[in-house]
Chains A and B, each alone.
Chain A
């Protein structure tokens, strides 16, 4: 019983990581329908931002560097996304296959750039002292870094929900997604809304990158480990559905942790994939369907 509880906690923790890396995609892929393979590299950019800040501020300011890197990574990754949108993706709307290929190329370029700038070696990002170690509750280990990532994922999700659901910007976003022509006819500058959505989605990837520095080391290939999982969360959750993404992320996390406990890590991945394939057979539109005529 305790083991089951323990694995549920692990599942929630995995889920929060999945949610964090997938949140940005619910905007760029979910809302805008852009298959951005470079999303993983925006995560990597966020992670390297943390590393650079830590190097700049020195060993005595690790906490400051870490906290500061959250907003800065948002801006850095967001600007990269903006640049990508303005130069390439803007010209490729409605051509998903081309977008996929082009952004994949961009991803490879970004990885190589990171390798040339920061070296092929992974770099270590030090954890602030208050994220080291952990506490125990009912005999279950709760590492502080996992608790922090969980809290961060929740905070970012709530912030994203407020932006989409409550702010004027979010209403425009949804309007453009649901019916681009009608939104444009109603006086919404769709191009500018696209830019903002893309900035936001990419910036969220940057924040995820900052969080990931607390799990492992930072290397040029960091993004490639998470990109597939991120797409899966968005697809299972239903395109453009924040609540869908939340449910999908935690479900996948828990399925993963439970099946890993009863089998093995490699096999657990297979089980998760099988679950997803079976699920999509019955609900190809994901947990929540987008009720819209705007999407082809």
Chain B
């Protein structure tokens, strides 16, 4: 009996060891793919002529779908800056950490990057939950975070630079477009059940009330849910003119497939989405969302020399079938903005970088952007797009120039009492 048990334990240990070594091998494999990280890591381990920056995204778990591409564009920006001599004559060395789609992990890894790696700035986050988890860490340590995704607004941390859109640069233009261009009178709200959709819908309802649009329904599905039959039935029964979609991640695929199955394609019931970009369209399948409306500030098709250069460089580095989209561009812009501010300040000290960032302008792929010194968001041009059969997005409406960021919606009467 006892020998048998020992034998069993031996095999178990052997297999565990095997699994462990497989893990290590996999880890090494994926590291060597990131040329930028491995080359700079080896070049710099013992010398003082590099500046470390943190890159903190979910490389595993449910959010990896979206965040891996943003990490890629941030690495591309770092590589480009390094090729041109780096910042302050030093090469930038990225330290990559995995937030693992788990919000406490984001806070923990942020602390590690700041205190152990002593990074000059961190680029990272995607979900509002991860940002909210990291916020106190960066404020406590007086360190900088560049956050690359559109979000629900009502926030302005002195240690975060928001390079994605806030509400008045994305959602409000989308609502105005629906009312003026599409004549929408009845709007149905569908979203994932977490902080961004719930806050965004609160703002949408306040806007609708002030502007004479009727909200016919408001439904939330758990994150990751793929069961939308009931919600689709409710949408159908409500006789709405359009749907405002704040679903995140995988749920979008199921939602659009089931809308399609219920005989509600885009020409019958337009859906406006604020979380689907070119990268997500690849996972959904372009045929399911062809003709649907999205609201962002940048598309791969956005004209301009800066964007042509960016798209070309991104595809050259990561493959022809990869696409660029809004958060990917915002991640890239974040790195470039930080580097420009550091050059201007002549230092990587967060307070000096913050001071130098005030009013800083940059020719980004999305067009000219300016950092608002007060709330540390950036000016952005709002663009409404329609998804075409190739999975790319064509701009159908554009704001007159960049819109000033207004995260607390101070300039809107209807928004009083929201924050």
Count of A-B contacts with CB under 8 A? 132
Considering residues B69, B222, B282, B283, which has the most beta carbons from chain A within 10 angstroms of its beta carbon? B283
Q: Provided the pairs A217-B253, A266-B193 are in contact, do residues A6 and B65 lie with their beta carbons within 8 angstroms?
A: no
The bracket for how many chain B residues form the interface is: 35 or more
- Contact call A221/B285, Cβ cutoff below 8 A: no
Q: Provided the pairs A143-B261, A265-B231 are in contact, do residues A221 and B284 lie with their beta carbons within 8 angstroms?
A: no
- Contact call A116/B30, Cβ cutoff below 8 A: yes
- Contact call A266/B222, Cβ cutoff below 8 A: yes
Answer whether residue B8 sits at the interface, using C-beta atoms and an 8 A cutoff.
Answer: yes
The proximity string for A residues 220-235 relative to B, scoring 1 for CB distances below 8 Å and 0 otherwise, is 1100010000000000
- Contact call A6/B233, Cβ cutoff below 8 A: yes
The proximity string for B residues 248-287 relative to A, scoring 1 for CB distances below 8 Å and 0 otherwise, is 0011011001101111000000000000000100111101
Q: Provided the pairs A143-B262, A264-B219, A269-B222 are in contact, do residues A121 and B11 lie with their beta carbons within 8 angstroms?
A: no
Considering residues A127, A141, A220, A269, which has the most beta carbons from chain B within 10 angstroms of its beta carbon? A141
- Contact call A105/B19, Cβ cutoff below 8 A: yes
Q: Chain B residues with Cβ under 8 A from A113's Cβ? A: 26
What is the bound-complex CA distance between A240 and B66, given in angstroms? 40
Q: Chain B residues with Cβ under 8 A from A260's Cβ? A: 230-231
Answer whether residue B225 sits at the interface, using C-beta atoms and an 8 A cutoff.
Answer: yes
Q: Chain A residues with Cβ under 8 A from B219's Cβ? A: 264-265
| Cross-chain contact of B250 among A3, A88, A216 (Cβ < 8 A) | A216
Q: Provided the pairs A219-B250, A264-B220, A265-B222 are in contact, do residues A141 and B262 lie with their beta carbons within 8 angstroms?
A: yes
Which of B47-55, B56-64, B115-123 is found at the contact surface with chain A? B56-64
Instruction: Please count how many residues in chain A sit with their CB below 8 Å of the partner chain's CB atoms.
Output: 51
Answer whether residue A279 sits at the interface, using C-beta atoms and an 8 A cutoff.
Answer: no
- Contact call B193/A122, Cβ cutoff below 8 A: no
What distance in Å separates the Cβ of A117 from its nearest Cβ neighbour in chain B? Answer: 10
Interface residues of A in 213-271 (CB under 8 A from B): 214-217, 219-221, 225, 256-257, 260-261, 264-266, 268-269
The proximity string for A residues 1-40 relative to B, scoring 1 for CB distances below 8 Å and 0 otherwise, is 0010011001001100100000000000000000000000
Task: Give chain A's interface residues, CB within 8 Å of chain B.
Answer: 3, 6-7, 10, 13-14, 17, 87-88, 91, 105, 109, 111-113, 115-116, 120-124, 126-127, 132-134, 136, 141, 143-146, 212, 214-217, 219-221, 225, 256-257, 260-261, 264-266, 268-269
> 12 A-B Cβ contacts within 8 A?
A10-B230, A14-B229, A109-B19, A111-B60, A121-B282, A133-B261, A212-B226, A216-B257, A221-B62, A257-B230, A266-B221, A266-B222
